[in-house]
C-alpha cells in the first residue's frame, strides 16, 4: 500500500510489515536527512536500512551501532561496523545511563526504555517488545517485535502457539499528514487471508488492502471506529505507544 503526501514523501507499507520511504524531489521543504538519502526501509526489529545517493548503504540499530557498506561492495562481509562504545555517564536526576560518540547517543532509562539517537536524526526507541522508529519529516513506525516474529515464522511454514494466534497488529505507521497505516497478520487455521493493510486518512476515508489482491475504499460516511478488528486492540488507529512520550530526551 503506497501513500504520497503533498511534500513528496512516499511511504510503501507491505503485508510483510516492512516500511519503505523515499522523498520525491529534494526541495527547500524536504527533510534534512534526504539530502544524501535515496530511500530507507524499516525492517522487523526496528533495523533501518538507508540507501544513500552515492550508492553506499547504512544499517542503523536500536543499540546505537551503525554498519556501513561502500558502493563498490558486493558482499555483506564488507560491512564496516561502528559500535557505540566508550565511557558511560549517569544522569543523577533520572538515573539514566548515557553513551555518546559524536552526534550519536544511547540512553538506557531505569524503567528499561532504550533510546538511540543516530547522526542523521533517526531515533529508535525500544521497550519490551515494542520498537518505535522516527526521523524528522518522515513517517514514524511502531513495530510489535513479538507479533512480527510470529508472523514471519508462520509465513515460513512454522507452527505458532495458539496463544499468539489470530489476527494481530504487527506494525503501525504515522504519516506526517495525519494519516495512519496498520498492518495485521492472521495465523488462524481457518483464515483465507493472512496479511491485511488499512489506511485511515485524516478525513476518515479508509482504504483496505488484502494479500489476495482485494482493495476496498470506505468513504468517511461509513466510518464507525475503523475496519481493523485485531485481537486485543480496541483502538488500532490510536497514537503510538504511550511510553514513548515520557522519553523524548
Q: What is the DSSP string of 151-168?
A: HHHHHTT----GGG-SEE
Residue 42: all three cell numbers together: 524499516
In contact, 101 and 153? CB cutoff 8 Å: no
In contact, 115 and 107? CB cutoff 8 Å: yes
Return the pLDDT at 230: 61
Place of cell 511502531: 142
Query: Is residue 247 very low, low, confident or very high in pLDDT (cuts 50, 70, 90)?
Result: very low
pLDDT in tens, 63-104: 999 999 987 766 666 678 877 777 789 888 888 999 988 889
Return the pLDDT at 197: 92
Return the pLDDT at 234: 58
Predicted TM-score (pTM) of this structure = 0.85
Please state the rounded mean pLDDT for residues 198-214: 89
Return the pLDDT at 91: 85
Is 36's pLDDT higher than 50?
Answer: yes
Please state the rounded mean pLDDT for residues 163-186: 86
| Per-residue three-class SS string for 195-249 | EEEEEECCCCCEEEEECCCCEEEECHHHCCCCCCCCCCCCCCCCCCCHHHHHCCC
Better pLDDT: 200 or 245: 200
% pLDDT > 90, the chain: 37
Is 134's pLDDT higher than 90?
Answer: yes
Return the pLDDT at 124: 96
Return the pLDDT at 166: 79
Residue 112 per-residue DSSP state: S
Amino acid at each position: 500500500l503506497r501513500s504520497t503526501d503533498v511534500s513528496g514523501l512516499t511511504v510503501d507499507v507491505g503485508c510483510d510489515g516492512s516500511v519503505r520511504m523515499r522523498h520525491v524531489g529534494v526541495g527547500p521543504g524536504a527533510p534534512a536527512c534526504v539530502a544524501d538519502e535515496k530511500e530507507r526501509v524499516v525492517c522487523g526489529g526496528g533495523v533501518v536500512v538507508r540507501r544513500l545517493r552515492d550508492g553506499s548503504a547504512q544499517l542503523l540499530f536500536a543499540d546505537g551501532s551503525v554498519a556501513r557498506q561502500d558502493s563498490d561492495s558486493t558482499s555483506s562481509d564488507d560491512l564496516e561496523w561502528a559500535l557505540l562504545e566508550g565511557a558511560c555517564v549517569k544522569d543523577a536526576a533520572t538515573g539514566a545511563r548515557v553513551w555518546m560518540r559524536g552526534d550519536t547517543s544511547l540512553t538506557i532509562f531505569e524503567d528499561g526504555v532504550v533510546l538511540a539517537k543516530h547522526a542523521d536524526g533517526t531515533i529508535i526507541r525500544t521497550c519490551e517488545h515494542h520498537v518505535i522508529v522516527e526521523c524528522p519529516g518522515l513517517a514514524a513506525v511502531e513495530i510489535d517485535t513479538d507479533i512480527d516474529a510470529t508472523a514471519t515464522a508462520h509465513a515460513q511454514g512454522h507452527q505458532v502457539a495458539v496463544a499468539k494466534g489470530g489476527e494481530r497488529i504487527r506494525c503501525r505507521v504515522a504519516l506526517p499528514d495525519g494519516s495512519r497505516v496498520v498492518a495485521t497478520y492472521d495465523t488462524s487455521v481457518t483464515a483465507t487471508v493472512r496479511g491485511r493493510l488499512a489506511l485511515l486518512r485524516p478525513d476518515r476515508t479508509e482504504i483496505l488492502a488484502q494479500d489476495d489482491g482485494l482493495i476496498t475504499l470506505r468513504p468517511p460516511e461509513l466510518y464507525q471506529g475503523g475496519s481493523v478488528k485485531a485481537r486485543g486492540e480496541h483502538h488500532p488507529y490510536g497514537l503510538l505507544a504511550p511510553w514513548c512520550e515520557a522519553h523524548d530526551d
